[in-house]
Amino acid sequence: MIRRWCTLLLLIAKASCYGGAPHRRDDGSSSRTGRRSALSRLIVETVSMPIVTSALLHPSHCFASDDVIVATEPPLPSLLESRYQQHDDYPPPTYGMECPDIYYPPSFLGTWRAISKTIDVQAPCGYDLFTGGKEAFDATYATEVEGGKVLEYSARFISSTLAGGSEEIAIVADREYNAREIAKAAMGTFSVVDTPIATPNRYTCLLAPPGNDTGDLISVDILAIGRRAEPKSPLRQNKFVCAEYVRQIVSRAKQRRGGDNPNSLSLTVAAPLSVKEIETISIYSADNDEKDRITCQQRTATYLVPSQTDPIAFKKWQLSGGRPVDVRRYDVIYTRI
């Protein structure tokens, strides 16, 4: 169950963002470097982070275009492509909130059938800092990488006016729809109970743990703290590269009946169970002759956050040495519905 919830939360973080060397299992050689900075990991507490106001950011340089551009020389990796290609050193991102939202090429507009396959899972800091330990890592690798298990869901991109009072129209991801569809595909139709907030800079949802008879829910709060989009250039035709860096806060929530109305429900959110920061890099590619199919390479990297109240959690963050504790790569194919 720990592995399934960890995977679901990671997928929801990817959906709220709209997420080389051969495939490596972190056993022998790849875990040796992780042991230099690792020991254990689980619950960390949040450090308050202000929400960035979209109106303060100008979107003009964030636009993606469907224009056909002819390359005149071999392409060089962009900043995000270089980060994606890293396999041994994963420093935290240095970019900030460069865009009010991710603005996709016009051809993304509409609803798509997405098929996502995990092609690699790594534990750069060793098994002890990987959620669920070695058992969870082995099960994830065996099922998703070696077993070839895929996740199939719907994804939707919609038109929206730009932030800051502009009347221009841009194509953005329908974050609420995408996260709900991924949760339904991964954990069942009624996994998402409510989505109180679904904005570019904050996404909040309530999840129902399967098989839970207590009525307790899981509250997931995702705050955007970094965002970058790299539009097409003469060296990068038919490719769109973007990334988001978010803080994910997971808490237990209890529903209680109270007040004068016995049918009314109140929700109490407890202290955070888990606080992480997750970077999702997405490299989208499309063929000019095939408008109904898009391929995407994605990489997620999960970082620990220092706790101000829990010395053990703080020590775990120190042991990670600024490196991610969980790195995954996905191949995603979008087919227009």
Three-state SS sequence of 173-200: ECHHHHHHHHHHHHHCCCCEEEEEEECC
Strand partners, 335: 113, 293
**pTM of the entire predicted model:** 0.78
- Cβ-contact 130, 326 below 8 angstroms: yes
Per-residue pLDDT of the chain (337 residues; tens, 9 = 90+): 555 556 666 666 766 665 333 333 444 433 333 332 222 222 222 222 333 333 333 444 455 655 443 334 445 678 899 999 988 889 999 999 999 999 999 999 999 999 999 999 999 999 999 989 999 999 999 999 999 999 999 999 999 887 666 678 899 999 999 999 998 898 888 788 889 999 999 999 999 877 666 667 889 999 999 999 987 665 567 889 999 999 999 998 876 655 555 555 567 877 788 899 999 999 999 876 677 999 999 999 999 999 887 787 788 899 999 999 999 999 999 999 9
> Interhelix angle for 175-187 vs 2-17, to 10°?
160
Measure the CA–CA gap between 330 and 296, rounded to whole angstroms.
Answer: 8
Which two three-digit tokens encode residue 49?
Answer: 């982070």
- Cβ-contact 239, 287 below 8 angstroms: no
Output the CA–CA distances (angstroms, integers) from residue 277 to 190, 224, 328, in the order listed.
26, 10, 14
- Cβ-contact 105, 240 below 8 angstroms: yes
At 118, which amino acid appears? T
Other CB atoms within a 10 A radius of the CB of residue 115 amount to 14
